[in-house]
Amino acid sequence: MSGRGGEKGARPKPARITSPEAAERLVRDLKRDQSGEPDYRRRSLQLYGLVCAKCGREFDERTRHLLTVHHKDGNHLNNPADGSNWENLCVYCHDDEHSRSILADYLAGRR
Ligand SMILES: [Zn+2]
Ligand SMILES: [Zn+2]
């Protein structure tokens, strides 16, 4: 039946690490993928703590993925170091915040 592809070692070769820099970059990439947190997120959680700015719900290392960083001006690229554009919101309040502003825009006839 399966008369083709007799070779069993046809796996893709792992990327060869040719220099210490390449190894370092690889490790850094792996670490970033593991935490999955952008820089601003980590900084904002550090700055304001693991607490929702709206409902006051507190989080810890285990539940911190439920706490999100809201950008007050809606621009995720605007990340001033003093954190003035950030607000830590739990996923529920964050959702609420966004649906509210969409609704406000809608009611104001802006769309
Ligand atoms: Zn909340
Ligand atoms: Zn937001």
**What is the Å distance from ligand 2's center to 97 Cα?**
7
Q: Give me the pLDDT at residue 6, please.
A: 53
Nearest-ligand number for the alpha carbon of 85: 2
Q: Give me the pLDDT at residue 104, please.
A: 72
Closest CA to 70 of 56, 46, 54: 54
The DSSP result for 61-97, as a single string, is TTTGGGEEEEETTS-TT---TT-TTEEEEEHHHHHHH
Mean pLDDT over all residues of the chain? 84
Average pLDDT on 6-34 reads 69
**What is the Å distance from ligand 2's center to 71 Cα?**
5
Ion ligand 1: residues, Cβ under 5 Å: 52, 54-55, 90, 93
**Hey, where are the domains in the chain?**
37-107
Nearest-ligand number for the alpha carbon of 69: 2
Q: Give me the pLDDT at residue 17, please.
A: 74
Which tens digit of pLDDT belongs to each residue from 33-87?
Answer: 556 788 999 999 999 999 999 999 999 999 999 999 999 999 999 999 999 999 9
**What is the Å distance from ligand 1's center to 66 Cα?**
9
**CA distance linking residue 106 with residue 111, whole number of Å:** 6
